[in-house]
Amino acid sequence: MALTHAILVTLGDESYSGYDLWKKFSQTSRYYWQASQQQIYRELGKLEKEGAIASEVVPQEGRPDKKLYRITDQGVEKLKTWLLEPAEPMAVREELLVKLIAANLVPKSVILQQIQSRLQIHSKQLLVYKTKEQEKFSDLAQLSYKQKCHYLTLRCGIRYESSWIAWCEEAIAMLS
């Protein structure tokens, strides 16, 4: 599985502490991988044991010390091997859709409110992504290969949120 690899990929660009990784995974990397703080710390422990990453304690003033992790050569090899394996589509497990199938058990307003709530969540997230698109990827012709790849992950997030928004609107129109 791939939290391991998501961490390795992130450490491939620069060093992070567990806490920094967690923030990155909750904010920036939201559109491709989600992970909790505890999961990240556990995975970092495993990766260090097997030698794919190495850590260095960085003392800080007025703050707790932090353990900065960096990827090792062995870690890079591991990544390369993994990159060649085919990537499976994510398993779909969408609670809201399961609820729709049983919607006749509760008042219509319950379901409509759930859909409305989702519409808000996705609208908010889309705005975050679109802002980032404008700020960081305004000039597409100037992008390097690496930046293009990064941009495409953001585009996937934008399409995902847009698709949900369109569905929510269709659903509200159909059920109202």
Partner DNA sequence: AGCTACATGTAACGAGTTACATGATTAT
Partner DNA sequence: ATAATCATGTAACTCGTTACATGTAGCT
User: DSSP letters along 102-162, please?
Assistant: TGGGS-HHHHHHHHHHHHHHHHHHHHHHHHHHHHH-S-GGG--HHHHHHHHHHHHHHHHHH
Considering only residues 80 to 139 of the shown chain, the ones binding a second copy according to CB under 8 A are: 80, 82-84, 86-106, 108, 110-111, 114, 117-118, 121-122
Give the contacts of 122 (CB within 8 A, at least 6 positions apart). 161, 164, 165, 168
Report the residue number, 65 or 77, with the smaller CB distance to a second copy: 77
Give the contacts of 169 (CB within 8 A, at least 6 positions apart). 119
Q: Find the shortest distance in angstroms from Cβ 93 to DNA.
A: 5
Q: Find the shortest distance in angstroms from Cβ 150 to a second copy.
A: 6
Report the residue number, 66 or 155, with the smaller CB distance to a second copy: 155
CA 173 to chain centre: 30
Report the residue number, 17 or 171, with the smaller CB distance to a second copy: 171
Query: Which DSSP category does 52 fall into?
Result: S
CA 14 to chain centre: 18
Per-residue mark of binding to a second copy, 30-69 (x: CB under 8 A): xxxxx-----------------------------------
**Among a second copy, DNA, none, partner that 127 touches (CB below 5 to 8 angstroms by kind):** none
Report the residue number, 17 or 158, with the smaller CB distance to a second copy: 158
Q: Find the shortest distance in angstroms from Cβ 25 to DNA.
A: 10
